[in-house]
Amino acid sequence: MEAVTQQIPLEHFLVLSAILFSLGVYGVLTRRNAVLILMSIELMLNAASVNMVAFAAYTSPEQFIGIIFAIFIITIAAAEAGLALAIILRIFRYRKTANVDEIDELKW
């Protein structure tokens, strides 16, 4: 069986990753709800993971550097999601809202 790497060119993965990343950026910039922003960030992280794995598989398949990084990213994303959700929860409890436009205490 031919390896995936021979059937699908690398560019497809990169385009996928770019689309995912752009979606994430778009989400971060346009959403007002903190939870949705967090989800968009996860999308961007995943885009990066896809990128890593794809490059790893195409350029140096005998090494696992890219894959290891992808696993790191997943781990950190999970930790970060937990932390961020906890913060959002506290903010929601305190402010009765998760709309980031209304959370602007941190200025001058």
Partner 1 sequence: MGMSEAWLLPLLPAGAFVVLTLFGPYLPRKGDWLAIAAIFTTFALTFPIIADLTSAIAEHGPEFGGVTNSIEWMSVPGYLTLNLGVHVDAITVVMLVVVSFVALMVQVYSLGYMKGDSRYGWYYAVISLFVASMLALVLADNFLVLYFAWELVGLCSYLLIGHYSHLRSAAEAAKKAFITTRLGDVGLLIAIILLWRETGTFSIQGVIEAAQAGQIRTEVLTASVFLIFMGAMGKSAQFPFHVWLPDAMEGPTPVSALIHAATMVVAGVYLVTRTLPLFELVAGAQELILAVGLLTTFLSASMGLVMTDIKRVIAYSTLNSLGLMFVALGLGSPAAAMLYLFAHAFFKALLFLGAGSVIHATERQDVSQLGGLWSKMPLTGATFAIGALAMAGLPFLAGFWAKDEILVVATENRAVFALLLLTLPVTAMYMARLFILTFLGEAKEPEAIEHAHDGPPTMSVPLVLLAVLSVVAGFVVFDQVGRAMGFPGGIGEIIFLHEPEVFRFDVAVAIGSTLLVASGLGVGWLIWKERPGLAIIAAIVLKPVHTLLVNKYYLDDLYQAVIDRVVLMASRMLAWFDRNVVNDTIVDGSAQATGFIGYLLKFQQTGRLPNYALAIVIGIVALTLVAFSLK
Task: Point out which residues bind partner 1 (CB under 8 A).
Answer: 25, 28-29, 32, 37, 100-101, 103-108
Question: Is the distance from CB of 74 to CB of 46 less than 8 angstroms?
Answer: no
- Supply φ then ψ for residue 99, to 5 degrees: -80, 115
Q: Which is nearer to partner 1, 2 or 101 (CB)?
A: 101
Q: Which is nearer to partner 1, 25 or 67 (CB)?
A: 25
- Least distance CB 93 / partner 1 (angstroms): 18
Question: Is the distance from CB of 46 to CB of 20 less than 8 angstroms?
Answer: yes
- Least distance CB 106 / partner 1 (angstroms): 5
User: What are residue 33's DSSP bridge partners?
Assistant: 99
Q: Which is nearer to partner 1, 12 or 32 (CB)?
A: 32
Question: Is the distance from CB of 39 to CB of 85 less than 8 angstroms?
Answer: no
